[in-house]
Amino acid sequence: TQLLEQSPQFLSIQEGENLTVYCNSLSVFSSLQWYRQEPGEGPVLLVTVVTGGEVKKLKRLTFQFGDARKDSSLHITAAQPGDTGLYLCARPGDSGYALNFGKGTSLLVTP
Amino acid sequence: DAGITQSPRHKVTETGTPVTLRCHQTENHRYMYWYRQDPGHGLRLIHYSYGVKDTDKGEVSDGYSVSRSKTEDFLLTLESATSSQTSVYFCAIRPWGGRFYEQYFGPGTRLTVT
């Protein structure tokens, strides 16, 4: 069972465009994390959102946690080639120790 | 930088041979994890450890075993490698006291089983 659905699966845009990617679940989660993974490297934590309705900004990246804590979005303003990578969302699993990851959105930003 | 290294970074092996991957951390973190990443499947948990000699299975543990005899090292062993175990393997740690399960990943090991 895929607990987290990410969309779109792939996204190819030109430098300067804006974009939004989504992470959805059928169940409420206590917190959600976003990671970015560049080719050939491990995922890197970008942000954790905890409170329903919460908005966090990281330079040109804006993260939002849905009011019902079942969904989250990542908006990138004026995308740059350096934003290219795989964006993963993750939530705490039922075990209490591990994370469940979505399959990710693969973003390509071309000059 | 969470001080995580993985070795080897690349390995090619033949079907039926044993393979051991090593994850080493320098900051005394209690929780350590092994994931595999495959196209179309994302990151899937193989095994994790919550202390020395304390380990448990993840969702794709068949064909894998782990050991943790020291805090700093978490070993993943494929007893008899199969082609379906061709993948990229990531080790991760979770800092003690992290309320929201944030994890920090190593650089990965690309394993090819021929």
CATH number (domain holding residue A26): 2.60.40.10
Residues in chain B with CB shorter than 8 Å from the CB of A49 are none
Q: Using the predicted structure, report yes or no on whether residue B42 has a pLDDT greater than 90.
A: no
Whether B108 sits inside 8 A of A42 (CB atoms) is yes
Number of domains making up chain A:
1
Q: Chain B interface residues facing chain A, Cβ-Cβ under 8 Å?
A: 31, 33, 40-45, 48, 50, 56, 58, 90, 92, 94, 100-108
Neighbours of A10 (CB within 10 A): 10
Give the Cα separation of A47 and A102 in Å (integer): 15
Residues in chain A with CB shorter than 8 Å from the CB of B56 are 95, 97
Range of the domain at A22: 5-110
Please give the pLDDT value at position B2.
65
Q: Using the predicted structure, report yes or no on whether residue B69 has a pLDDT greater than 90.
A: yes
Q: Mean pLDDT in chain B?
A: 93
Q: Using the predicted structure, report yes or no on whether residue B100 has a pLDDT greater than 80.
A: no
Determine the distance from the C-alpha atom of residue A14 to the mean position of all C-alpha atoms in its chain, rounded to a whole number.
19
Please, what are the domains in chain B? 4-113 (2.60.40.10)
Phi/psi at A100 (nearest 5 deg)?
-105, 130
Q: Using the predicted structure, report yes or no on whether residue B14 has a pLDDT greater than 90.
A: yes
Q: Using the predicted structure, report yes or no on whether residue B90 has a pLDDT greater than 90.
A: yes
**Residue pointed to by tokens 């970008």:** A46
Shortest CA distance from A5: residue in chain B = B42
**Mutation for A interface: B100, B104, B109, B110, most A CBs within 10 A:** B100
Please give the pLDDT value at position B101.
82
Determine the distance from the C-alpha atom of residue A52 to the mean position of all C-alpha atoms in its chain, rounded to a whole number.
16
* Pairing verdict, β A105-110 and A10-14: parallel
CA distance A62 to chain B (A): 19
**Residue pointed to by tokens 């964006």:** A87
| Nearest CA among A27, A32, A23 for reference residue A92 | A32
Per-residue pLDDT of chain A (111 residues; tens, 9 = 90+): 458 999 999 999 999 999 999 999 988 888 899 999 999 999 999 999 998 899 999 999 999 999 998 999 999 999 999 999 999 999 988 777 788 999 999 999 999
Please give the pLDDT value at position B98.
66
Please give the pLDDT value at position B80.
96
Please give the pLDDT value at position A66.
92
Give the Cα separation of B37 and B50 in Å (integer): 22
